[in-house]
Amino acid sequence: MNENEVAEMQDEAGEKKDAVDTVREMNDETKSSRLERGEEEKARERSRLRAAAVFEIIRREGQGELARGFPALWWSGLAAGLSIGFSVLAEAFLAAHLPDEPWKPLVDNLGYSVGFLIVILGRQQLFTENTLTAVLPFISRGGHVWWLVLLRLWGIVLAANLIGCMIFAYFISQSGVLPPEVARAVTEIGEHMMTNTPSEMFLKGIVAGWLIAALVWMMPSAEGSEFWIITLMTYLIALGDFTHVIAGSAEAFYLFFEGRVGLADVFGGFLLPTLAGNVFGGTVLFAVVAYAQVREEIAKER
């Protein structure tokens, strides 16, 4: 065997080795791709929802709320009014038992989240949630019929929420169920809120309305973190002394039943300007901006 034949055999052996290595690499890639396909579902689950998908989820939920009958809306709204009173009550309990230190508001304002947790996780009807949820179907459809349906929902839920707050405030004021130090704390919380002028009530109400609408917008992406999202957003409302028309009504009605403010102060000084601010922040600002960012994407999909 000459040198040329030996060289050719070595070349063939090298080519065969390269071919074997290539096949092995292809097998490894196939196994890898199979693993990737197996994890594809998890990747889909962990991917963030598009803004258009969030919009559609909330829109469908709002459409369902608009279609509910009067009894369902009324009793759910009344339950929410009663439940939201525990925001001021939990805050008062914490304030009454904490030392008067500079850090005290950082802790006692956490109690403000309790009522909202009961209402939202309990799927009760809260008016300020509907400044976004029920508005999205109207924005995407329009027309005078949707206006009437929206105003019907708002009217029922708002009236039920306020009556629930009034019943709660009357009970804790007149029943004597609260320890004296907690009753004083409720009074102080309410009086602190009522020091705002009507214009301040309105402006602070805009921020609270925006934060509640932002809370509703984040819920479809919460994936088990609903408790923390609700707690954080409502804690910010309390910490910033922003005004919420339903939670604040429990405080205002309590002061009325205690003889510290009149109905003119409750409605003219607090309720009406705060209501206007919450609606403006949740509907005119947040809902419109939310729709604007997805309008083109929704139009293409249609």
Average pLDDT estimate for 80-100: 96
Dump pLDDT digits (tens) for 236-246: 999 999 999 99
The tokens for 3 are: 């040198």
Read off the pLDDT band of 138 (50, 70, 90). Answer: confident
Window from 15-19, 31-35, 73-77 with minimum mean pLDDT: 31-35
The tokens for 106 are: 């950082």
Burial of 297 (0-12, 13-18, 19+ CB in 10 A): middle
Question: Cα separation of 241 and 71, whole Å?
Answer: 34
Superfamily (CATH H level) for 51-301: Glycerol uptake facilitator protein. (1.20.1080.10)
The tokens for 33 are: 């791709």
Average pLDDT estimate for 94-98: 96
* Helix (H/G/I), strand (E/B), else coil: 72: helix
Q: Which contiguous run of DSSP H or E holds residue 216?
A: helix 198-218
Tell if the pTM clears 0.75, that is, is over it. yes
Percent of the chain as helix, strand, coil, to the nearest 5: 85, 0, 15
For residue 13, the model assigns a pLDDT of 46
Average pLDDT estimate for 87-115: 96
Q: Where are the alpha helices (DSSP H) in 47-69?
A: 51-66
Q: Are 120 and 229 in contact (CB under 8 A)?
A: no
Question: Which whole-number Å values give the CA distances from 13 to 3, 8, 9, 26, 39, in the listed order?
Answer: 15, 9, 6, 20, 39
* DSSP calls for 242-268: ---TTHHHHHHHHHHHTTSS-HHIIII
Number of neighbours of residue 104 by Cβ within 10 angstroms = 13
Place of tokens 């139009």: 299
For residue 25, the model assigns a pLDDT of 52
The tokens for 207 are: 């921020």
Read off the pLDDT band of 37 (50, 70, 90). Answer: low
